[in-house]
Amino acid sequence: MGSLKNGTESVLQEEEEEPVLKEQSQKYCTFPIRYPQLWEMYKKAVASFWAAVPCTDLTSASSLSNICGTVEEVDLSLDIQHWEALSESEKRFLSHVLAFFAASDGIVLENLAARFLNDVQIQEARAFYGFQIAMENIHSEMYSLLLEAFIKDSRQKNKLFNAIDSIPCVSKKAKWALNWIQSSTDPIAVFAAFFIIFLDFVGSSSSFAERLVAFACVEGIFFSGSFCAIFWLKKRGLMPGLAYSNELISRDEGLHRDFACLLYSIMRNQLARQKVHQIVHEAVEIETEFVCDALPCALIGMNAELMSRYIKFVADHLLVALGYDKKYNVENPFDWMELISLQGKANFFERRVGDYQKASVMSSLQDNGKNFEFKLDEDF
Number of other CB atoms surrounding residue 119 within 10 Å? 18
Options 35, 42, 129, 143, the catalytic residue: 143
- Selection from 355, 139, 352, 146 nearest residue 249 by Cα: 139
DSSP state of 271: P
Cα 311 to Cα 63: distance, rounded to the nearest angstrom: 41
pLDDT averaged over every residue in the chain: 76
Is residue 328 flagged as an active site residue? no
Give residue 300's pLDDT band: very low, low, confident or very high (50, 70, 90): low
Residues counted in the chain: 380
Architecture of domain 78-343: Orthogonal Bundle (1.10)
Q: Are 37 and 26 in contact (CB under 8 A)?
A: no
- Global pTM reads 0.78
Give residue 8's pLDDT band: very low, low, confident or very high (50, 70, 90): low
pLDDT cut 70: percent of the chain above it = 71
Cα 354 to Cα 360: distance, rounded to the nearest angstrom: 17
Give residue 129's pLDDT band: very low, low, confident or very high (50, 70, 90): very high
Cα 275 to Cα 332: distance, rounded to the nearest angstrom: 25
Task: For residue range 214-258, list pLDDT tens digits in order.
Answer: 999 999 999 888 888 888 888 889 999 998 888 889 999 999 999
Least confident of 111-125, 159-173, 344-358: 344-358
